[in-house]
Structure 1
């Protein structure tokens, strides 16, 4: 099959208007990527789902088990799949980027957690989608990793269950339990610091565990005291010592401590570069529902505080407006990525002028100011702005026809949902634009089938 035909079917597999009979034919294609695209779609018709679940290829059924767009109750139908690989995929579940996964029904987790194969039980319990009430019920499970997972539901456990986990025979279980209480237990903090040497979990303890004076002094004297510099229980005199530490990363962490005033922050010699990647400050995220904390951070002269505030969805409108004009590009970018109502003009500005790859997705953001873009940019001298005119949902058909004759905009015109069907068919028959026209939601079903016929896909 010609490459452009294969690319056309790949775009067709994502076409939101593709009806069930087209999707069923695509599932018969021998290209695994095209079949996978169909499986990963959201809102699949039930007859298509039935076909996926009955497909003889376990790879395809595994893809459905891992689909973040599939209804969890429908994914749970794979519990009795004959392939252990498929059941394993169901246990692992979807891991989408920056998106919460809805859990499987409780009965599905109960069966997976009682599965005779140990690996399946462990993969299940490692899933972040397992509800807390099910994890809490594992506190006395004979399998150590399952008891360890129960610690993730610490607030739902009884006092007796907590005590049992804190004194568990399994070292990993004891560590997991101690991590839940170390913020108020200096003795367990000291034990974890030694027990987790060389482990990523040690950094968590250094940042949040309750420190005795002796341990605090020893950690501050360490060669790399960056994590402990953020610890809220660090004595004030040791904070002042780290504020003049020779390592600029340590000074930066000190400068972002919550108890410091703006004047005290300014007295620390720190820098935040425009390209510096900084995690959200724990204390800001934990206070995301506190309007006073968010206001203090959003109006701070400290870039790290403003970046951390920008990811909090509870920002009040005046703070959203303030951060939308922030001098730091990352603040404006994070605001657009995480706030439910970023200013439309900011989305447009970052799309046109931002350098980060994330800005390319802003054109599909619900608040992107698509209406009127044709009037603003159709005659621009900037090629990117001229192409952006095609994002206007009200673009007149005659303008679209004109754009379709422009080599720079012909491809984008092939994607526009308002392109007239005769012109869309012309673009579909052009090898240079076939793939783009195949993904157009205005493409009639008969033309979709014509593509499949041409590719030799069975009806």
Structure 2
């Protein structure tokens, strides 16, 4: 891989004529960068697609290609990419439905808006992988038909399709009204009864671990149930019976559903697995009584999930703040706090509560400034990136707490060039601060040069446009490929050097 050329491909200042030259010699890696360019013209996109077909998907997603740019017979991947974006021609779908390459027919089966006759062809495909892909994405009427497919893997895919009619999803769970499936991936290949050893040594065995079939396709049926339970279109009445199921994998999806009655959530709260209870704790549909029960749960993950619940009562949240590892994140309930609640939180004697509030970036100036003088470093680390803080307040934080807050101060969007330079000279140094300074819009050349001394900040600084051009050129010979790529992508790289880098 030529990292300098990969960087050039992403350089926003690369002249159009050099973009043209790069397209003519691009490999897949370079093409990936070129496909993301904001200034790529339609003609350049078409030229890139004709040279590197793998770039077509991204070009189609960005709307840079049209149907007139593609020959489906010569560029099937390009045609499939446009069909996936709804920008292809229906005649292409008919052509590609007969493509001898299975992977192409699979991609076609996932495309929206396929003509009915094409769906019929794909539903009858000799390769089950194509039918499975169709079942995942097809229309309600076809999904209902494929729910009766004799292969259990197809039914399993239907259970994941959110367009599948609710009554059909319920039938896939209960089996009522459906004939029994005749095959699954296991009995397709093995004599039953068969159970795949998780440590199966056979190199040709691609069955999932634990796959088993005694003629009733157990593992595929289990997966079908799981898919249907995760599917939001599955009726509530069809899933309630799984709240006490011995399989955690079948209870877990119920814990995140928001359409169950309170009694079902209470049953799920008795699950022995912390993962299920943690999923339940984050569910915005559980009531305050259950929230208070889960607030006393011994599982750390359960309590951590609970504080992220947007409907957790504020008094429960503040009680958990001091005993639950939350980290520097803005919680939904904190973000939704009223002005009166914000004032109460700011006055809390618990620094962990004040820290959570300080993560908001829309605080009234008087509360923001008060938190900026908080004696607790945790609170200062949260408030330091808040816009609007004066330089004096930011410097006061550094003077009081040094390396504990420097990286967060460097993250403040209003940090001045002089302050950023001083942060890079602080002793002892704060390594994380170099990374923040290196990506800061106000970073000066002296600050960026200091950042180059830090291994992790060096690639970031190499891409900063305020780095001196001669330094950028020197970094093109760096031992670290990330630095080379960043330097080549730097818009301040002299155009003459760009030209010299071209093949």
TM-score range, shorter chain: 0.5 to 0.7
1:415-443 CA-to-partner distances (Å, cap 9, x unmatched) read 32134545555655788876543221022
Q: Distance in 1 between matches of 2:461 and 2:261?
A: 63
Cα pair 2:278 2:302 within 8 Å, conserved: no
Quick one: structure 1 residues 148 and 423, their matched pair in 2 at CA, closer, same or farther if it must change by over 3 Å? closer
SS of the equivalent of 1:91 reads helix
Cα pair 2:278 2:301 within 8 Å, conserved: no
1:117 aligns with 2:99: yes
1:416 aligns with 2:464: yes
Trace 1:317-332 onto structure 2 (pairs within 5 A): none
1:296 to 305, 308, 311: 311
1:376 to 396, 399, 419: 419
How far residue 170 of structure 1 moved from its aligned partner, in angstroms, is 6.5
1:4-51 CA-to-partner distances (Å, cap 9, x unmatched) read xx4333322221111222223334547653354334544323443343
Trace 1:342-357 onto structure 2 (pairs within 5 A): none
Trace 1:202-213 onto structure 2 (pairs within 5 A): 202-206=225-229, 209-210=234-235
Cα pair 2:278 2:303 within 8 Å, conserved: no
1:352-389 CA-to-partner distances (Å, cap 9, x unmatched) read xxxxxxxxxxx9xxxx7545353333222224324533
Q: Distance in 1 between matches of 2:118 and 2:26?
A: 47
1:15 to 8, 11, 14: 11
1:44-82 CA-to-partner distances (Å, cap 9, x unmatched) read 234433432443xxxx22x22122576435164564155
Q: Distance in 2 between matches of 1:229 and 1:451?
A: 57
2:273 aligned residue: 247
Trace 1:24-423 onto structure 2 (pairs within 5 A): 24-29=20-25, 32-55=28-51, 60-61=52-53, 63-67=54-58, 71-72=62-63, 74=65, 76-77=67-68, 79-80=70-71, 82-83=73-74, 86-88=75-77, 90-91=79-80, 103-105=85-87, 107-108=88-89, 111-112=92-93, 114-115=95-96, 116-117=98-99, 119=102, 120-127=104-111, 130=112, 134=113, 141-144=120-123, 149=134, 152=137, 161=141, 165=145, 172=154, 176=158, 180-182=164-166, 189-191=173-175, 197-199=218-220, 200-206=223-229, 209-210=234-235, 220-224=244-248, 226-227=251-252, 229-230=254-255, 239-255=265-281, 259-268=285-294, 270=297, 273=300, 296=311, 301=317, 369-372=412-415, 374-380=417-423, 381=426, 382-396=430-444, 399=446, 403=450, 413-421=461-469
From the CA coordinates, give the structure whose radius of gyration is larger: 2
Extract unaligned runs of 5+ from structure 2: 124-129, 182-216, 362-367, 369-380, 387-406
Cα pair 1:248 1:270 within 8 Å, conserved: no
SS of the equivalent of 2:465 reads coil
1:355 aligned residue: none
Quick one: structure 1 residues 31 and 164, their matched pair in 2 at CA, closer, same or farther if it must change by over 3 Å? closer
SS of the equivalent of 1:80 reads coil
Quick one: structure 1 residues 143 and 416, their matched pair in 2 at CA, closer, same or farther if it must change by over 3 Å? closer
Cα pair 1:206 1:228 within 8 Å, conserved: yes
How many positions carry a matched residue from both structures? 377
Extract unaligned runs of 5+ from structure 1: 95-101, 285-293, 337-342, 351-362
Quick one: structure 1 residues 117 and 256, their matched pair in 2 at CA, closer, same or farther if it must change by over 3 Å? same
Q: Distance in 1 between matches of 2:311 and 2:463?
A: 45
Normalised by the length of structure 2, the TM-score is: 0.54
Higher relative contact order (CA 8 A, sep 6+): 1
Q: Distance in 2 between matches of 1:121 and 1:227?
A: 34
SS of the equivalent of 1:226 reads helix
